[in-house]
A and B are shown apart, each in its own frame.
Chain A
């Protein structure tokens, strides 16, 4: 496996379910990110982890709970979601610390979530 892998690619859940999205990177990066991409809206940064510590929580509702057990894995735990949470959730990774030059984010293919 190379790059950034996200599972599952598609998820349908009811409002009372609990599910998790998983992200794994094989690039040796030490920072990981969750972005939300809704229809007709720009990508929204949700969470950032650098060296396994959360450095950004962009006013995300508590029904989204991130977890970063190590620098290669990132989870997004979902519970009691709303239909408006239906979106494409993109995971990304990069080198952490102070960014410089073309220190790019490498993205996964996303997990498309539908909340019924």
Chain B
């Protein structure tokens, strides 16, 4: 079974600074997908970035980048130039290779608070 661990329940970052949110995972599969989602107070889960286990380069999407270290089984999210609107819960998730649906296993989340 897959397991996702996010060890930082809450973090503060100063506006305009970069921040790294940690995610480690446990799987025996060789092929898998890793996702990060943002959940603002409104409740909706917003997709941020995806990394495939065979992707050789780290994924980037605007101010978001994923620091993927396969041997360490870590997939940390880096947010550059933090903005006040980045204050939210952030969830790391994994998709195993063989399932009938696009089912994700989520970590417990990290609450990010951006200080002005």
Contacts and interface: CB of A to CB of B under 8 A. Distances in A.
Interface of A: 31, 33, 40-43, 45, 48-50, 55-56, 88, 90, 92, 94-96, 99, 101-110, 112
A-B complex: 7 closest residue pairs judged by Cβ atoms: A102-B50, A107-B45, A48-B101, A110-B43, A55-B100, A43-B106, A109-B44
Given A45-B104, A55-B101, A109 B47 contact: no
Nearest to B109: A42
A90 B89 CA distance: 15
B91 interface: yes
Interface residues of B, number: 25
Interface of B: 4, 33, 35, 37, 42-47, 50, 52, 91, 95, 99-109
B103 to A, nearest CB: 6
